[in-house]
Amino acid sequence: MSDLVLFERAGAIVTLTLNRPDKRNALNLALWGELAAQLDAVRALGEDISVVILRASGPVFCAGNDLKERGAKAPERDYQAKIVTRLADLAQPVIVAVQGGCFTGGLELALAGDIIVASESASFADTHGKFALVPAWGMSQRLPRRVGQWKAREMSFTGLPVSGREAERIGLANHCVPDVELDSTVTRLAEAIASQSRHSVFAYKRLYREQADLPLQAGLAHEVFASAGVGPDFAERVSGQFGK
């Protein structure tokens, strides 16, 4: 690999870093291939990993698809869309740290995360219309589920950018922080997740994903039916909290 996606592990936390800053981290096929390989590595580690951080080198999170590769043949049909879905479907929660531009394909990638933390320099936009393109990596599905149908339509129809603060207000980002606090905020959230029982967190993520489009009553029934039950670390955690 050529280090287009860096892999760093600190205990139970894995950080994946888009590392093509000279091209504003534009998504070319080589980068997609490395991201897929790094996701394989996370999956292979299984429950040894509690949370995954997705971030980017340089001042821009991701300018989107590398349009210079438009028309290049991918290894398989829907290649990029499948990788985005693999990121979204990781058992571990995914935190996305966004600074600078996060446009179109980059936004589709960020939307695969469970938690998005934006810096004040962040700018989110869906610019498919600028280039006579239509989404195929999940924008029309994940964006309205995050910000609501009507705000999603505004973003997609106009292509106008949304600031980090506005992203926080509309629910696109969970937090917007000063740029100098982006890394520390993401680390704090990751460490909080890592301190929880993996049994609980993984079960929560699965339930949230499976119930996303169910009516309330069906969702309540599914929660009971699909419950993972009490985790193997229950007794240890109770003992640690209240003493023996």
Do 11 and 86 belong together in one domain?
Answer: yes
Q: What pLDDT, in 10s, does the model give residues 186-216?
A: 999 999 999 999 999 999 999 999 998 899 8
Do 227 and 183 belong together in one domain?
Answer: no
196 contact partners, CB below 8 Å, separation of at least 6: 50
**Mean pLDDT across the chain, nearest whole number?**
95
Read off the pLDDT band of 231 (50, 70, 90): confident
Number of domains in the chain: 2
Residue 103's beta-bridge partner residues? 125
Contact between 10 and 52 (Cβ < 8 Å)? no
State the residue range of the domain holding 211: 198-242
Read off the pLDDT band of 243 (50, 70, 90): low
Read off the pLDDT band of 176 (50, 70, 90): very high
pTM of the model: 0.94
Do 189 and 231 belong together in one domain?
Answer: no
Residue 240 CA: distances (Å) to CA of 10, 48, 228, 233, 235: 24, 21, 22, 11, 8
Enter the tokens of residue 136.
């195929």
Do 170 and 101 belong together in one domain?
Answer: yes
Read off the pLDDT band of 76 (50, 70, 90): very high
Do 126 and 225 belong together in one domain?
Answer: no
Q: For residue 148, what is the domain's CATH number?
A: 3.90.226.10
